[in-house]
């Protein structure tokens, strides 16, 4: 089944391996991802912090392109891109004036047709149909992930219906269950890692991440799993610093959900590019005989 | 606008999500950031303002953020701030050392991409940026 696909800037740069994994894993789950033509940056949190028109207009151009593409649905794996694009869709739906003003600048107008799906919307569908469990050649026994959703997977600055609990989401836990991994219960699954602050206010971000790490460790997690490129980069790149500064000796690999699904499908770690993590992430899988 | 909250808030939206009165404080800090930029006022934490400005500048060049260019612009803005108002050359050197350390690690991990990804619809992007300024 062909669906439209919006990778976003991170999946073409610092988390390009997430794009590789999405195409491979989704392909095997029956989704032929069709990258929409000439997409632009969604503006992420930066546009929202600079100008309200731009914050809607940048993702709107992508909505127009998606509407013109002829596909009914579009998957957006990055939590930030998905969040900003969904917000643009909702805002334009409710504000005809703004929609006209935005569409005046676009060759492909926003029509509001395309249905936006987060990566978890797609994966949970496949959990419920039994396909994830059926394709899990290798059950991920021994893997105890702390499912980390971060901020943007479930929280919005306006009323938006998401298909999961806001404070205690379960999407990743459902996928883990189907894969035979034992997702732990913990209290920091939607707590902020600091996001852009890891670059512009690093001490603050490292402190926020230390709280996340401490809880995951004390609850017995042996890894993190996430769907957001920013979350993955932050926890992964700074885990050493967090550990050294806050006296945490454990190192938890930070996997993308697609990496866990890929491993259980029997795809190799090198093919999934799991060797591109800062925190060594292959030994744990070898030790549990998962690869 | 002389409130550090404006610059510490990263818009995680936890406040508004939980507020029993539905007050989205993060939207207020966003609005204050807009106003400070529009009125050309000095941000309390220039690095934060520089980050978001550099991000959008890179977007306006290519339609997609070029991470190398974005970080380059960010550090040049920071350097300018440190020289005129801040920690001087030492602060610049410390900052660059930290970022280069990260950059080197990312390069080893093949997480830095040197290609230029420029979209065809640049004229539309430029129009969106200029309309936003009005």
Q: Are residues B95 and B123 in the same domain?
A: yes
Is pTM, for the whole model, over 0.90? yes
- Flag whether residue B51 sits within 8 Å of chain A, measured between CB atoms: yes
CA angle B68, A275, A174 (to 5 degrees): 100
Q: Are residues A275 and A175 in the same domain?
A: yes
Q: Are residues B129 and B85 in the same domain?
A: yes
What is the pLDDT at residue B134? 86
Burial class of A173 by CB neighbour count within 10 A (0 to 12, 13 to 18, 19+): buried
Q: Of A14, A41, A52, which has the smallest distance from its Cβ to B63's Cβ?
A: A41
Tell me how close the Cα of A204 comes to any Cα of chain B, in angstroms. Answer: 9
Residue A163 lies in a domain: yes
Burial class of A270 by CB neighbour count within 10 A (0 to 12, 13 to 18, 19+): exposed
Residues of chain B in contact with residue A276, where contact means CB-CB under 8 angstroms, are 109-111
Residue A124 lies in a domain: no
Q: Are residues B78 and B120 in the same domain?
A: yes
Q: What is the pLDDT of residues B56-86, one digit of tens each?
A: 999 999 999 999 999 999 999 999 999 998 7
Residues of chain B in contact with residue A278, where contact means CB-CB under 8 angstroms, are 105, 109
A149: three-class secondary structure by DSSP: coil
Picking from A120, A138, A90, A118, the residue whose alpha carbon sits closest to that of residue A285 is A138
Pairing of strands A115-118, A73-76: parallel
> How many domains are there within chain B?
2
Tell me how close the Cα of B96 comes to any Cα of chain A, in angstroms. Answer: 12
Q: Are residues A229 and A86 in the same domain?
A: no
Q: Are residues B124 and B106 in the same domain?
A: yes
pLDDT band at B87 (very low <50, low <70, confident <90, very high): confident
Q: Are residues A226 and A114 in the same domain?
A: no
Q: What is the pLDDT of residues A197-223, one digit of tens each?
A: 999 999 999 999 999 999 999 999 999
Domain hosting residue B117, numbered range: 45-134
Q: Are residues A141 and A280 in the same domain?
A: yes
Residues of chain A in contact with residue B117, where contact means CB-CB under 8 angstroms, are 12
Q: Are residues B73 and B111 in the same domain?
A: yes
Mean of pLDDT values over A154-162:
90
> How many domains are there within chain A?
2
Query: Which of A119, A147, A166 delimits the end of a domain?
Result: A119
Q: Mark yes or no for CB contact A13/B67 under 8 Å.
A: yes
Q: Are residues A108 and A183 in the same domain?
A: no
Q: Are residues A96 and A26 in the same domain?
A: yes
Q: Are residues A27 and A100 in the same domain?
A: yes
**Above pLDDT 90, what percent of chain B?**
90
Which residue is closest to A57 within chain B, CA to CA? B128
Q: What is the pLDDT of residues B15-46, one digit of tens each?
A: 999 999 999 999 999 999 999 999 999 999 99
Q: Are residues A173 and A92 in the same domain?
A: no
Taking a C-beta distance cutoff of 8 angstroms, is the pair A208, A192 a contact? yes
Given a cut of 90, whether residue B113 has pLDDT beyond it is no
pLDDT band at A159 (very low <50, low <70, confident <90, very high): confident
Given a cut of 90, whether residue A35 has pLDDT beyond it is yes
Q: Are residues A190 and A86 in the same domain?
A: no
Q: Are residues B18 and B50 in the same domain?
A: no
Residue A190 lies in a domain: yes
Q: Of B109, B110, B120, which has the smallest distance from its Cβ to A38's Cβ?
A: B120
Mutate to test the interface with B, among A15, A19, A41 (most CBs of B within 10 A): A41
Mean of pLDDT values over A8-34:
97
Picking from A291, A283, A282, A216, the residue whose alpha carbon sits closest to that of residue A248 is A216
Q: Are residues B101 and B62 in the same domain?
A: yes
What is the pLDDT at residue A164? 94
Q: What is the pLDDT of residues A87-125, one digit of tens each?
A: 999 999 999 999 999 999 999 999 999 999 999 999 999
Mean of pLDDT values over A18-22:
98
Given a cut of 80, whether residue A140 has pLDDT beyond it is yes
Residue A128 lies in a domain: no
Residue A258 lies in a domain: yes
- Flag whether residue B42 sits within 8 Å of chain A, measured between CB atoms: no
Given a cut of 90, whether residue A128 has pLDDT beyond it is yes
Residues of chain B in contact with residue A206, where contact means CB-CB under 8 angstroms, are none
Domain hosting residue A190, numbered range: 134-287
**Chain B window 57-86: which residues touch A at a Cβ cutoff of 8 Å?**
59, 63-67, 74
ipTM of the complex: 0.95
Residue A129 lies in a domain: no
Q: What is the pLDDT of residues A219-276, one digit of tens each?
A: 999 999 999 999 999 999 999 999 999 999 999 999 999 999 999 999 999 999 999 9
Q: Mark yes or no for CB contact A195/B12 under 8 Å.
A: yes
Q: Are residues A64 and A165 in the same domain?
A: no
CATH assignment of the domain containing A149: 3.40.50.11810
Q: Are residues A96 and A147 in the same domain?
A: no
Q: What is the pLDDT of residues A54-85, one digit of tens each?
A: 999 999 999 999 999 999 999 999 999 999 99
Given a cut of 90, whether residue A19 has pLDDT beyond it is yes
CATH assignment of the domain containing A28: 1.20.1050.140
Q: Are residues A220 and A115 in the same domain?
A: no
């Amino acid at each position: 089944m062909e669906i439209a696909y919006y990778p976003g800037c991170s999946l073409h740069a610092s988390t390009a391996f997430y794009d590789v994994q999405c195409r491979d894993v989704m392909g095997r789950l029956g989704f032929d991802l069709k990258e929409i033509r000439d997409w632009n940056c969604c503006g992420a949190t930066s546009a929202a912090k600079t100008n309200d028109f731009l914050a809607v207009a940048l993702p709107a151009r992508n909505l127009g392109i998606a509407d013109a593409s002829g596909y009914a649905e579009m998957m957006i794996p990055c939590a930030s891109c998905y969040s900003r694009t969904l917000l643009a869709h909702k805002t334009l739906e409710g504000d005809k004036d703004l929609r006209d003003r935005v569409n005046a600048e676009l060759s492909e107008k926003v029509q509001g047709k395309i249905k936006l799906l987060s990566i978890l919307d797609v994966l949970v569908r496949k959990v419920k149909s039994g396909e994830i469990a059926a394709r899990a050649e290798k059950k991920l026994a021994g893997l105890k992930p702390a499912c980390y959703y971060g901020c943007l997977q479930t929280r919005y600055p306006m009323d938006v219906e998401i298909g999961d609990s806001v404070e205690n989401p379960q999407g990743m836990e459902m996928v883990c269950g189907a894969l035979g991994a034992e997702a732990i219960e913990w209290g920091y699954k939607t707590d902020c890692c600091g996001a852009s602050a890891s670059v512009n206010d690093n001490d603050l971000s490292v402190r926020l991440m230390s709280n996340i790490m401490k809880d995951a460790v004390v609850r017995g997690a042996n890894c993190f799993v996430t769907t957001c490129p920013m979350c993955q980069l932050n926890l992964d790149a700074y885990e050493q610093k967090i550990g050294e500064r806050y006296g945490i000796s454990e190192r938890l690999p930070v996997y993308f959900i697609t990496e866990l699904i890929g491993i259980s499908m029997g795809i190799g770690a090198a093919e999934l590019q799991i060797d591109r993590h800062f925190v060594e992430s292959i030994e744990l899988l070898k030790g549990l005989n998962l690869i | 606008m002389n409130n550090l909250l404006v610059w510490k808030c990263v818009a995680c939206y936890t406040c508004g999500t939980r507020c029993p009165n539905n007050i989205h404080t993060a939207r207020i800090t966003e609005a204050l950031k807009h106003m400070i930029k529009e009125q050309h006022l000095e941000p309390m934490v220039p690095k934060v303002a520089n980050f978001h400005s550099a991000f959008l500048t890179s977007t306006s060049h290519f339609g997609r953020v070029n991470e190398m260019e974005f970080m380059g612009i960010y550090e040049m803005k920071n350097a300018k701030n440190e020289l005129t108002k801040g920690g001087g050359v030492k602060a610049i050197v410390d900052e660059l050392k930290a970022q280069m350390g990260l950059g080197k690690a990312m390069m080893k991990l093949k997480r830095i991409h040197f290609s230029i990804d420029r979209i065809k619809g640049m004229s539309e992007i430029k129009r969106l940026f200029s309309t936003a300024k009005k």
